[in-house]
Amino acid sequence: MRLQTDLALLRTTGDPREFGRVAVLSGGNSSEREVSRHSGEAVLTALSRRGVDVIAFDPAEQALAGLSAQCDRVWIALHGAGGEDGAVQGALECLGLPYTGSGVSGAAVGMDKLLTKRLAQAIGVSTPDYVVLRGPRDFDAAIEQLGLPLMVKPARHGSCVVTKVERAVDLSRAFVVASALDASVFAERWIGGGEYTVGILRGAALPSIRIEAGTDTRYLCPSGLSVPAERHLASLALAIFEVTGAWGWGRVDFRVDVAGRPLVLEINTVPGMSDHSLVPLAARTAGIDFDELAWRVLETSLVRIPRGDL
């Protein structure tokens, strides 16, 4: 299997000098700039505590082309467009700089929710039913097939621009909002069951987290799943990671339907890395503190093969 082959190539080290100088890439110009800045600051502090020669780099403030003169490798903490869609990965390939996490194709596929759903279906992993929306001519079919409420999503943007539609008359506005951001838009059946996320770190699934949304959202880790259910969710997360070409580290999000069946929603190839983010929470439950997590992610940049192929 590709994942097992790639893991065999993964190198580890206990010597911070082996990394050379590391640039933590964060900030950027996406709508997730502030979240990215928090992630970058936390990673920079963690790596500094471990003795890594590390600098901060914000591509919104400096030309990316200048990176090669400043560092030997890159820890990518850019979220959203430009950071986890393959764009910055491609630029770093051109500069000849090793970087953390997924390669160009894995990042690009992972950013595309619609493509991720289709790949999940291709390997038999369940995902909520959906209808591609090309315009008003598809609205009636979407409501007939999916029912109400339903979700309207631009395929290549974050969850902050997802709209829940509870009345048929609101579907048109939700489509306008989504299509202003992306030419690829789809409606998805609303799944009201439990919400879970599974972090992936170097080929292994971290403990799942149950997300209980409300006035004060709660994140439960351990999630309370039975041992067989936990193993099943982990196997699904790893399968999705592999089929999309994602690698190194990330997160897979699920909803559970009324029959108790986990349905994959999307993957995130550059998850948040602040102290209160989800992957650090799962890692902590697995006995991996924040500094060690940042180090292990950095080790994914030591792979000595062209990253665009991962």
Model-level pTM? 0.93
pLDDT bucket at 289, cuts 50 / 70 / 90: very high
Residue 18 has pLDDT above 60, yes or no: yes
Q: Render pLDDT for 117-132 as a digit per residue (tens, 0 to 9).
A: 999 999 999 999 999 9
> Whose CA is closest to 61, among 46, 84, 47, 40?
40
Q: What's residue 35's pLDDT?
A: 93
β-strand partners of 199 = 251
Q: Which domains does the chain show, CATH number per domain? A: 2-101+290-303 (3.40.50.20), 110-125+192-285 (3.30.470.20), 130-189 (3.30.1490.20)
Banded model confidence at residue 303, pLDDT cuts 50, 70, 90: confident
Give 185-198 pLDDT, tens digit per residue.
999 999 999 999 99
Mean pLDDT of 253-264: 96
Alpha helices (H) in the chain, listed in sequence order:
2-9, 33-49, 87-95, 104-111, 113-122, 139-146, 171-179, 227-244, 278-285, 290-299
Share the mean pLDDT of the chain: 93
pLDDT tens track for 84-128: 999 999 999 999 999 999 999 999 999 999 999 999 999 999 999
* DSSP letter (8 states) at residue 208: P
Kindly report the length of the chain: 310
Tell me the C-alpha distance between 262 and 124, whole Å: 12
> Which of the two residues, 157 and 260, has the higher pLDDT score?
260
Closest CA to 263 of 281, 236, 284: 236
Three-class DSSP category at 207: coil
pLDDT over 80 at 207, yes or no: yes
Q: Which residues are CB-neighbours of 204 under 8 A, at least 6 positions away?
A: none
| Rounded CA separation 96/78 (Å) | 19
Please count the other Cβ atoms lying within 10 Å of the Cβ belonging to residue 310. 23
Cβ pair 225, 198 in contact under 8 A = no
Q: Residue 276: pLDDT band by 50, 70, 90 thresholds?
A: confident
Closest listed residue to residue 188, CA positions, set 241, 124, 257: 257
pLDDT at 5: 43
Locus of tokens 């339907």:
257
